[in-house]
Amino acid sequence: MKKITLAAIAILGLVFSANAQIQRGNVLIGSDLANLQLGLSKPTSFTGTIMPKAAWFIQDNVALGGYGSFSVATLKGNGSNITYGIGALGRIYSGAGTEIVRHGRFFGEANVGIEGQNYSATGGSTNGLGFGVGPGFAYFITPSIGLETLLKYNGIVGFGSSPYANNVNLQFGFQVYLPGRATAAKVIRDVK
């Protein structure tokens, strides 16, 4: 019973440890959503994008990891437009003392990878090297959970019917910040 109680206290300590979310050794896991639209009038349509992410903090306020991206846009009778991508991403969070809101942090995000856009209605496509960059803001509803918004410029350089495609989009995300092994060990030592 003592071990179960100790484990529960350690887990609560990890979840509620202050300012530990963007420290070296921690992990960010989550997803962004963009362009969600459901057209109810005829012809019906649907548009949605999901971008899962995972990153590891290599030092305080700096994370490196990977992302995936999948988008579909359909219009009844016109086919579907598919956008995809996979690659590496990096984030830099603003340092301490730059908080506008008590539990919020600004960050910059950049990514590079293999991406593509394929339009079935027009037969057009662009596939090749994808990249993106933009500023964002993370609001931590708990020390381990962040709600984010990100304004990002995205481009694809490659081959297909168009050698270059680009856009600017506003994304909303939900990220979970998991403690690394060193942080977890420290909380368990502090509880004992």
- At 88-105, the pLDDT tens digits run 999 999 876 566 778 899
Question: Residue 68: beta bridge partners?
Answer: 86
Residue 54 binned pLDDT confidence (cut-offs 50, 70, 90): very high
Q: Which of 8-22, 76-90, 178-192 has the least mean pLDDT?
A: 8-22
pLDDT of residue 161: 87
Quick count: other Cβ atoms within 10 Å of Cβ 182?
A: 12
Provide the mean pLDDT of the chain: 83
The two three-digit tokens of residue 126, written as one number: 């662009």
24-178 carries CATH number 3.20.20.70: no
104-119 and 164-178: which strand pairing? unpaired
Least Cα distance to 146 among 91, 97, 189, 191 occurs for 91
Q: How far is CA 40 from CA 35, 44, 74, 78, in A?
A: 16, 5, 12, 16
- Structure letter (DSSP) for residue 41: S
Separation of alpha carbons 129 and 31, rounded Å: 21
SS3 content of the chain, % helix, strand, coil (to 5): 15, 65, 25
The per-residue pLDDT for range 99-148, each reduced to its tens digit, is 677 889 999 999 999 999 998 877 788 999 999 999 999 999 998 999 99
